[in-house]
Chains A and B, each alone.
Chain A
Amino acid sequence: MADAVTITVNGAPVTVPAGATVAAAVALAGIHTFRRSVSGEPRAPLCGMGICFECCVTIDGREHVRSCQTSCAEGMEVRTDA
């Protein structure tokens, strides 16, 4: 098993240690806004354990995926709200 995994976040490649979550990768990419709330506020992870749904991003075209609960897999395409 590889020690590092490379995914893309909003089109840009990010390399993380194997086992790191997508949330960690998004933060490593320097992105603070994971999603926009219904009134347009920038939001990012709050609870770290899959309860708050603030960390949701789109992974490989699937929307509303909790990034803090998802391990990075090689080649994953992650999109955050602008």
Chain B
Amino acid sequence: MTDRAFDILVIGAGPAGLAAACRAAESGAKTAVMDENPRPGGQIWRASAGRLPVAAQPWVVTVGKQGVEWIPAARVFAAPAPGRLAIENAEGEFSLTYRSLILATGARERFLPFPGWTLPNVMGAGGLQALVKSGLPIGGKKIIVAGTGPLLLAVAQYLRSRRADVRLIAEQAPRRALARFAAGLPRHPEKLMQTAQFAWSLFGVKFLTGCWPVAAAGEGKLESVTLRRGGRTWTESCDYLACGFGLIPTTELAALLGCRIGTAGVEVDELQRSSVEDVYAAGEITGIGGVDLAVAEGEIAGFAAAGQPDRARRLFHARAAHRRFAAAMTRAFALREELKTLAHPETLICRCEDVPLGRIHACSGWRDAKLHTRCGMGPCQGRVCGGALEFLLGWKAESVRPPLLPVKVASLIGTEPGEEAS
């Protein structure tokens, strides 16, 4: 692909990115939206057996109608100059330049290590869902869904619809936190409907609060999971464990661009502007908040980037309501302290370099750990172990360098001829 220039470039084609691209393009801006995946939708709107979820369809259709350039299966790996991103796809490397950039890079799951978590068929909750949507056969398989968050219900519902045998959903949040959350749902009628829908579709599946996995076991692959709830510990056999402890915003590109990142995510103003001029952020990367908030933020960012702040402002009220809901969710599904004891000294924390917790405990911080244990120095560059170490030890992610992900040497060479020594 050759180098291209756009007025507005959107990175990420999940709910926030699609909404942003639509609003930007309908305001007349020359717009492109890019995603790592071959199809739009991101995680929550990921296509299954080739079909997008109903909620995604109008946005995708509009994106097409508005003449938005769709750049699939492409990854930003560097920001070599202001207004320019370096990108790699299957064909090689190319650059895109922009006047405004909207980051909608979404979120990933937080993995908390426990004995046996590295066994094949222990996956994230969203992870197993993504794999099944991409063709992994699951019919008749016994599945335990564990961790925290509404994602567990969505995943269980989806897997059931694919004829998996979902044995139980283990939610770590205590019952009273969920009850408080449920009591607040009438304020958000659509969410109440959604919850009722989940309850109906998951009828017959054990849903246990205050419950979490303490170990996974098996020969060469998962065969059983040991769970704890209160004073009771028991083991259940299963084929897959779909386990994720909440979501973490994917802020690496924002950090590379110099955007200020707060405790929740990328800091933005009321028009979704980041601390870097001409760079907007929308969706989960500004703070985990769910699909409705992501869409609202995406629309606001799209209007704002296209010079239509008044249209953006009309959405502030809805965004505020979604933010209230998101805050309630965050409170309800906060990770409990007991989860800090799941990992033992010999439990691997860094899966890329096989570094156990005991060796990391001996380190004074990330720099020390990277230098002396190689934790965080493998291909994932700390994206898997980072979420765990933030929770377990309070270690904050370090500054980000290019390449944002492993890329070919050829891509780092690029297409510009090397400068000769003067």
Complex contact flag A–B (Cβ < 8 Å): yes
Within 8 A of A (CB), among B96-133: 108-109, 111, 118-124, 126-131
* Cβ contacts A1-37/B at 8 Å (1 or 0 each): 0000000000000001111110111011000111001
Contact present for A47 and B124 (CB under 8 Å): yes
B91 to chain A, nearest CB (A): 14
Sorting the interface of chain A by its residue count into under 10, 10 to 19, 20 to 34 or 35 or more gives 35 or more
Known: A43-B118, A49-B126, A71-B38. A54 touches B351 (CB 8 A): yes
Chain A residue, CB-CB nearest to B374? A38
How many angstroms between the C-alpha atoms of A71 and B38 in the bound complex?
9
Chain A residue, CB-CB nearest to B47? A19
B408 to chain A, nearest CB (A): 10
Chain B residue, CB-CB nearest to A26? B136
Interchain CB contact (< 8 A) of A41 among B36, B126, B354: B354
Mostly helix, strand, loop or mixed at chain A's interface?
loop
Interchain CB contact (< 8 A) of A32 among B120, B131, B137, B351: B120
Contact present for A43 and B351 (CB under 8 Å): yes
Chain B residue, CB-CB nearest to A38? B354
Looking at B22-30, B76-84, B313-321, B376-384, the stretch in contact with chain A turns out to be B376-384
Sorting the interface of chain B by its residue count into under 10, 10 to 19, 20 to 34 or 35 or more gives 35 or more
A34: chain B residues at CB < 8 Å are: 120
Chain A residue, CB-CB nearest to B107? A49
Contact present for A46 and B49 (CB under 8 Å): no
How many angstroms between the C-alpha atoms of A37 and B351 in the bound complex?
8
B124: chain A residues at CB < 8 Å are: 46-48
Contact present for A46 and B135 (CB under 8 Å): no
How many angstroms between the C-alpha atoms of A33 and B119 in the bound complex?
9
Chain B residue, CB-CB nearest to A54? B351
B351: chain A residues at CB < 8 Å are: 37, 43, 46, 52, 54
The 9 closest A-B pairs by CB, nearest first: A20-B135, A24-B135, A48-B130, A44-B120, A48-B127, A53-B379, A21-B134, A32-B221, A32-B120
Q: Could you pull out 30 A-B pairs where Cβ atoms are within 8 angstroms?
A: A16-B135, A20-B134, A21-B131, A21-B134, A23-B135, A27-B131, A27-B137, A28-B135, A33-B120, A33-B220, A37-B354, A38-B352, A38-B353, A41-B354, A42-B220, A43-B351, A44-B120, A44-B221, A45-B123, A46-B122, A46-B127, A48-B123, A48-B127, A48-B130, A49-B43, A49-B127, A51-B108, A51-B380, A53-B379, A69-B36
Mark A residues whose CB is within 8 Å of B: 16-21, 23-25, 27-28, 32-34, 37-39, 41-54, 56, 64, 68-69, 71
